[in-house]
């Protein structure tokens, strides 16, 4: 571990470690970005979707005649019509099935029932109001507990052999060893908590523009997708179209956060409509449609128990988790892990035994538990263990920082295999937490807290130390629908020494056009401004599983480094030829190839690039380009220590974050400015979830969070100021030592905020308040703790 990291290239090359200004920003700042809805094709039609007002109902009939008669309406599509093409149902990314347009029943409010294709979007919207659907309401299930009750109505009666609402049962760890440890424990501390349903809410909603050429069968689909290659393959499998005739173009994307990983019914209907009508069809969701029907996140009901010694040493962890999956099991996650990587719940601590039991249940809510910046459920896992450790500290009367130091995995224990099967690559947790505590002035704050309590003021200090597991993943364990989670990079260096790097991932705002160019710049010494990064067009980029779960840098970034090294190897041979020296005597530094021990003899990468097309050694193939498919040997394990200070108003329950100190160790930072931007975003999202943000339903299953007045996104006004720190512990197995950071702060910070508020009222006996910590929940917790004499 080092505290700082220095770039090895000069600024004019702009390799790893330089805060290079983002290449993509010029076009976004002047309004020249091109998002999905900016695309227009000749003869293009517009599609709008009719959605179910009821969360659970049988469809008796659908009358589309009045809508079809509206001037300008070209087609009205129903599930019955799609069934004729075998498209009424589609597979989900978790191997379940999902209705494209409902045929038998609607299973959540907002489910797709019919679609209108018209010459303009206003007409399409008007015609929707004329479709008459006869619904027969059915009992509604709004919680997984209710769903698994013996007398619960069966939601998925479409599935043969499905006799209950149970979606899956899955476990990790060693149950027997864990029981033994619990039997030996001095103390058992438990915590039950709900991580509520939230929504990724990218500012650009989902949509597509499908253009099927009826003469050639070529389907070109512009789509807001984080994973264009995977989507193309799924489309080929769903629609039976030949894969070479499907081209997915994922243009500039206005935020994804996991929401743009799945295949949505609108994509399928628009493509089918274009195929049948023979004209391009555009579909773009409204904000409300995005919020009520597309992939949600979280909704985990969790119970965790720690077996402890009296002096605070953790012996074992036992977890039971029940997830609310909605009406279709559409999680985007590796196949063999039914609850994502939730079993990383043992966190940053060293103890021998853990047992994690997971179940999922169907409910009448929207499907699609996507990872909302959570690395496949690690947000939930990290939240649970950090809340649980904090609870244990109070119950045992140990300082919340001390109990963490006492149980941390130590630096000399890496690589460290956890009881649930992860092999953490590297880390120095005690230094990270100590640095964060020193920065915030921990001991002094504890003294202030005690004094404030005497005056009736509540101050809280919350700690969270998270460890993430990102960069899925090694092909022996990680696939989605059988597709291995590898990723790739193709690098072409042109005769003038300028380069194009093509990748299978897709940036949604992360700055790939800058950071991946920096990797190549670092390896080859080509100035970063001379490297163009291309992503998002399946016809013009190599295969890859896409951008989510913080995997772009760990997987595609590694591919970019390795392909650069392949190019460097060939370039070295060409340089040797030009310099009339032996291959082994050629050194490459900052874009200059020189002969060892003879610094005067050198050629530049530009010279070598020209030679690659003009002047080669005998027998060498022309050109300077290559491709690399990277299969990571392990996940990477970024971590961090966050400390939050809050002031709680005892009279109203209103709390404010006074200070937020966030130390992140994500290994080598390619572009420190972009890394800090990612952390700022994640800390803001953590603040959102801890304070105000959740998708709410009433008892009848109506979603009451269908717009940004009801589903809250914090603004700069209420978001606290962040103080960032870093350490750098490179990943030993990643080619450039990077670990990925896209989700770190979203994973780590919610527990820090919540622990801070709980810490402010812990002296009253409060141990848990479920997120979001709305003022009324905080106030009620204070009231009931006082009433019970806490």
Partner 1 sequence: MFPSSFDYVAARSVEEAVAAKAGAGDDARVLAGGQSLIPMMKMRLAAPAQLVDINRVPGLDALERTNGQLRVGALVRHADIARSDLAFGAIASAAPWISDPLVRNLGTLCGSVAHCDPEGDWNSVLLATGADVVARGPSGERTIPITDFVVDFFTNALRDDEMVTEVRIPVPNGRSGGSYQKLERKVGDYATVAVAAHLELGGTGAIARAGVALTAVVPKNTKVTAAENVLVGNHPSTELFEEAAELAAQASEPRDDVRGSAEWKRNVVRVFTRRALTAAAAQAQQG
Task: Enumerate the active-site residues.
Answer: 226, 373-374, 743
CB of 265 to partner 1, least distance (A): 20
Closest-CA residue to 401 (of 355, 450, 348): 348
Alpha helices by DSSP H, listed for 486-616, are 512-524, 558-579, 605-614
Candidate segments 146-154, 342-350, 657-665, 712-720, binder of partner 1 by CB under 8 A: 712-720
Residue 788 lies near partner 1 (rule: CB under 8 A): no
Q: Which residue in 126, 171, 192, 723 binds partner 1 (CB under 8 A)?
A: 126
Within 65-124, the residues that bind partner 1 by CB under 8 A are 121-122
Nearer to partner 1, 439 or 774 (CB): 774
Nearer to partner 1, 143 or 636 (CB): 143
Q: Which residue in 103, 288, 547, 552 binds partner 1 (CB under 8 A)?
A: 288
Nearer to partner 1, 110 or 742 (CB): 110
552 secondary structure, DSSP code: I
Residue 707 lies near partner 1 (rule: CB under 8 A): yes
Candidate segments 137-145, 219-227, 487-495, 710-718, binder of partner 1 by CB under 8 A: 710-718
Candidate segments 3-11, 161-169, 246-254, 651-659, binder of partner 1 by CB under 8 A: 651-659
CB of 49 to partner 1, least distance (A): 13
Q: Which residue in 775, 785, 786, 790 binds partner 1 (CB under 8 A)?
A: 775
Classified as helix, coil or strand, 39 is coil
Candidate segments 99-107, 328-336, 380-388, 649-657, binder of partner 1 by CB under 8 A: 649-657
CB of 65 to partner 1, least distance (A): 21
Q: Is 704 left (phi over 0), alpha (psi -120 to 50) or beta?
A: alpha
Residue 37 lies near partner 1 (rule: CB under 8 A): no
Residue 647 lies near partner 1 (rule: CB under 8 A): no
Instruction: Please state, in angstroms and rounded to a whole number, the distance separating the CA atoms of residues 666 and 669.
Output: 7
Residue 776 lies near partner 1 (rule: CB under 8 A): yes
Candidate segments 15-23, 329-337, 500-508, 646-654, binder of partner 1 by CB under 8 A: 646-654
The sign of the dihedral angle between the CA atoms of 715, 717, 718, 721 is positive
**286: burial class by Cβ within 10 Å (0-12, 13-18, 19+)?**
middle
Q: Which residue in 774, 785, 786, 790 binds partner 1 (CB under 8 A)?
A: 774
Catalogue the long-range contacts made by 650-656 (C-beta closer than 8 Å, 24 or more residues apart). Answer: 650/456, 650/457, 650/458, 650/782, 652/775, 652/779, 653/774, 653/775, 653/776, 653/777, 653/778, 653/779, 653/780, 653/782, 654/775, 654/778, 655/460, 655/691, 655/757, 655/760, 655/773, 655/775, 655/778, 656/720
Nearer to partner 1, 614 or 715 (CB): 715
CB of 267 to partner 1, least distance (A): 20
Helices (H) and strands (E) in the chain, counts: 19, 33
Instruction: Please state, in angstroms and rounded to a whole number, the distance separating the CA atoms of residues 255 and 247.
Output: 22
Cα separations (Å) of 433 from 401, 423, 441, 517, 672?
A: 8, 21, 12, 33, 21
Instruction: Please state, in angstroms and rounded to a whole number, the distance separating the CA atoms of residues 133 and 141.
Output: 22
Candidate segments 30-38, 438-446, 752-760, 775-783, binder of partner 1 by CB under 8 A: 775-783
Residue 709 lies near partner 1 (rule: CB under 8 A): yes
Strands 112-118 and 105-106: unpaired
Q: Which residues contact residue 65 at a Cβ distance below 8 angstroms, ignoring those fewer than 6 apart?
A: none
Cα separations (Å) of 214 from 81, 537, 605?
A: 19, 21, 47
Instruction: Please state, in angstroms and rounded to a whole number, the distance separating the CA atoms of residues 142 and 678.
Output: 34
Please check whether residue 432 is in contact with residue 639, taking contact to mean a CB–CB distance below 8 angstroms: yes
Closest-CA residue to 552 (of 199, 256, 235, 237): 256
Q: Which residue in 2, 86, 310, 696 binds partner 1 (CB under 8 A)?
A: 696
481 secondary structure, DSSP code: T
Q: What is the number of residues in the chain?
A: 790
CB of 719 to partner 1, least distance (A): 9
Provide the 10 A C-beta neighbour count for residue 393: 23
Nearer to partner 1, 66 or 654 (CB): 654
Interface mask (CB under 8 A) for partner 1, residues 599-638, using x and -?
----------------------------------------
Residue 779 lies near partner 1 (rule: CB under 8 A): yes
Residue 718 lies near partner 1 (rule: CB under 8 A): yes
Instruction: Please state, in angstroms and rounded to a whole number, the distance separating the CA atoms of residues 333 and 93.
Output: 7
CB of 722 to partner 1, least distance (A): 18
CB of 688 to partner 1, least distance (A): 9
Q: Which residue in 61, 336, 715, 788 binds partner 1 (CB under 8 A)?
A: 715
CB of 778 to partner 1, least distance (A): 9
Edge to edge, what strands does the sheet with 132-137 contain?
Answer: 105-106, 57-63, 132-137
Q: Which residue in 653, 682, 686, 750 binds partner 1 (CB under 8 A)?
A: 653
Q: Which residue in 589, 615, 652, 784 binds partner 1 (CB under 8 A)?
A: 652
Residue 717 lies near partner 1 (rule: CB under 8 A): yes
Nearer to partner 1, 288 or 731 (CB): 288
Provide the 10 A C-beta neighbour count for residue 398: 17
Please check whether residue 391 is in contact with residue 369, taking contact to mean a CB–CB distance below 8 angstroms: no
CB of 55 to partner 1, least distance (A): 17
Nearer to partner 1, 206 or 384 (CB): 206
How many residues lie near partner 1 (CB under 8 A)? 30
Residue 710 lies near partner 1 (rule: CB under 8 A): yes
CB of 124 to partner 1, least distance (A): 8
Please check whether residue 557 is in contact with residue 738, taking contact to mean a CB–CB distance below 8 angstroms: yes
Edge to edge, what strands does the sheet with 598-604 contain?
Answer: 586-589, 592-595, 598-604
Residue 699 lies near partner 1 (rule: CB under 8 A): no
Candidate segments 373-381, 459-467, 624-632, 774-782, binder of partner 1 by CB under 8 A: 774-782
Please check whether residue 296 is in contact with residue 368, taking contact to mean a CB–CB distance below 8 angstroms: yes
Q: CA torsion 597→599→602→605, rounded to 10°?
A: 90
Strands 722-726 and 655-665: parallel
Please check whether residue 317 is in contact with residue 354, taking contact to mean a CB–CB distance below 8 angstroms: yes
Nearer to partner 1, 94 or 224 (CB): 224
Residue 784 lies near partner 1 (rule: CB under 8 A): no
Nearer to partner 1, 8 or 652 (CB): 652
The DSSP element (H or E) to which 601 belongs, if any, is strand 598-604
Nearer to partner 1, 581 or 692 (CB): 692
Provide the 10 A C-beta neighbour count for residue 217: 12
CB of 699 to partner 1, least distance (A): 12
Nearer to partner 1, 96 or 324 (CB): 324
Residue 277 lies near partner 1 (rule: CB under 8 A): no
Nearer to partner 1, 176 or 787 (CB): 787
CB of 777 to partner 1, least distance (A): 8
Alpha helices by DSSP H, listed for 221-279, are 228-239, 265-277
Nearer to partner 1, 149 or 692 (CB): 692
Candidate segments 491-499, 563-571, 675-683, 771-779, binder of partner 1 by CB under 8 A: 771-779
CB of 717 to partner 1, least distance (A): 4
Classified as helix, coil or strand, 330 is coil
For partner 1, the binding residues (CB under 8 A) are: 121-122, 125-126, 286-288, 651-654, 692, 696, 704-705, 707, 709-710, 712-715, 717-718, 774-777, 779-780
């Amino acid at each position: 571990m080092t505290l700082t990291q220095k770039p090895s290239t000069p600024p004019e090359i702009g390799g790893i470690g330089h805060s290079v200004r983002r290449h993509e920003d010029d076009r976004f700042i002047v309004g020249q970005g091109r998002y999905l809805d900016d695309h227009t094709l000749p003869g293009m039609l517009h599609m709008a979707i009719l959605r179910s007002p009821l969360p659970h109902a049988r469809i008796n009939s659908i009358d589309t005649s009045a809508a079809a008669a509206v001037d300008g309406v070209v087609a009205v599509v129903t599930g019955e019509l799609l069934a004729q093409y075998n498209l009424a149902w589609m597979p989900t990314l978790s191997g379940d099935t999902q209705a494209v347009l409902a045929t038998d029943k609607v299973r959540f409010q907002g489910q797709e029932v019919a679609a209108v294709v018209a010459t303009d979007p206003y007409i399409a919207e008007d015609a929707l109001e004329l479709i008459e659907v006869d619904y027969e309401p059915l009992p509604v299930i709004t919680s997984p507990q209710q769903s698994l009750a013996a007398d619960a109505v069966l939601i998925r009666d479409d599935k043969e052999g499905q006799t209950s609402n149970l979606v899956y049962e899955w476990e990790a760890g060693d149950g027997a060893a864990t029981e033994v440890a619990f039997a030996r424990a001095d103390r058992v501390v438990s915590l039950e908590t709900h991580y509520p349903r939230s929504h990724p809410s990218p500012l650009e909603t989902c949509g597509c523009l499908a253009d099927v050429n009826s003469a050639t069968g070529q389907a070109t689909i512009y789509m807001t997708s984080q994973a264009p290659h995977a989507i193309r393959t799924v489309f080929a499998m769903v629609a039976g179209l030949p894969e070479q005739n499907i081209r997915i173009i994922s243009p500039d994307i206005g935020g994804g956060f996991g929401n743009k990983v799945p295949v949505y019914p609108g994509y399928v209907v628009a493509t089918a409509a274009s195929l049948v009508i023979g004209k391009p069809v555009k579909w773009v969701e409204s904000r409300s449609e995005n919020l009520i029907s597309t992939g949600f996140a979280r909704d985990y009901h969790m119970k965790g128990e720690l077996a402890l010694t009296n002096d605070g040493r953790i012996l074992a962890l036992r977890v039971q988790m029940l997830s609310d999956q909605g009406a279709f099991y559409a999680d985007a996650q590796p196949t063999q892990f039914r609850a994502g990587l939730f079993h990383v719940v043992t966190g940053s601590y060293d103890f021998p035994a853990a047992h994690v039991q997971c179940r999922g249940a169907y409910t009448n809510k929207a499907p699609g538990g996507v990872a909302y910046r959570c690395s496949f459920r690690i947000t939930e896992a990290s939240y649970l263990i950090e809340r649980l450790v904090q609870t244990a500290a109070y119950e045992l009367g140990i300082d919340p920082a001390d109990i963490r130091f006492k149980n941390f995995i130590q630096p000399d224990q890496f690589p460290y295999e956890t009881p649930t099967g992860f092999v953490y690559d590297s880390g120095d947790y005690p230094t990270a937490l100590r640095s964060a505590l020193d920065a915030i002035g921990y001991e002094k704050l504890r003294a202030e807290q005690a004094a404030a309590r005497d005056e009736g003021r509540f101050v809280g200090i919350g700690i969270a130390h998270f460890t993430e597991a990102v960069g899925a993943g090694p092909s022996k364990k990680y696939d989605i629908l059988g597709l291995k989670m590898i990723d790739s990079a193709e690098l072409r260096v042109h005769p003038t020494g300028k380069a194009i790097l093509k990748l299978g991932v897709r940036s949604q705002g992360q700055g790939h056009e800058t950071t991946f160019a920096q990797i190549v710049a670092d390896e080859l010494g080509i100035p970063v401004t001379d490297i163009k990064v291309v992503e998002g067009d399946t016809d013009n980029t190599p295969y890859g599983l896409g951008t989510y779960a913080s995997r772009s840098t760990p997987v595609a970034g590694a591919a970019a480094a390795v392909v650069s090294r392949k190019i460097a190897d060939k370039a070295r041979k060409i340089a040797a030829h030009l310099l009339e020296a032996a291959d082994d005597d050629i050194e490459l530094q900052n874009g200059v190839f020189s002969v060892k021990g003879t610094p005067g003899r050198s050629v530049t990468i530009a010279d070598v690039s020209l030679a690659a097309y003009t002047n080669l050694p005998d027998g060498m193939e022309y050109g300077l380009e290559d491709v690399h498919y990277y299969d990571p040997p392990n996940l990477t394990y970024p971590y961090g220590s966050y400390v939050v200070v809050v002031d709680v108003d005892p009279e109203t329950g209103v709390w404010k974050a006074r200070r937020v100190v966030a130390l992140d160790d994500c290994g080598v930072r390619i572009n420190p400015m972009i890394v800090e931007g990612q952390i700022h975003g994640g800390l803001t999202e953590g603040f959102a979830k801890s304070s105000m943000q959740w998708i709410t339903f009433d008892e009848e299953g109506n979603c009451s969070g269908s717009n940004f007045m009801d589903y809250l996104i914090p603004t700069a006004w209420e978001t606290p100021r962040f103080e960032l720190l870093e350490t750098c512990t490179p990943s030993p197995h990643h080619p450039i030592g990077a670990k990925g950071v896209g989700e770190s702060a979203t994973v780590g910070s919610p527990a820090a905020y919540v622990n801070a508020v709980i810490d402010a009222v812990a002296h009253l006996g409060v141990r848990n308040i479920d997120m979001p910590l709305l003022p009324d929940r905080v106030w009620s917790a204070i009231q009931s703790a006082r009433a019970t004499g806490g």
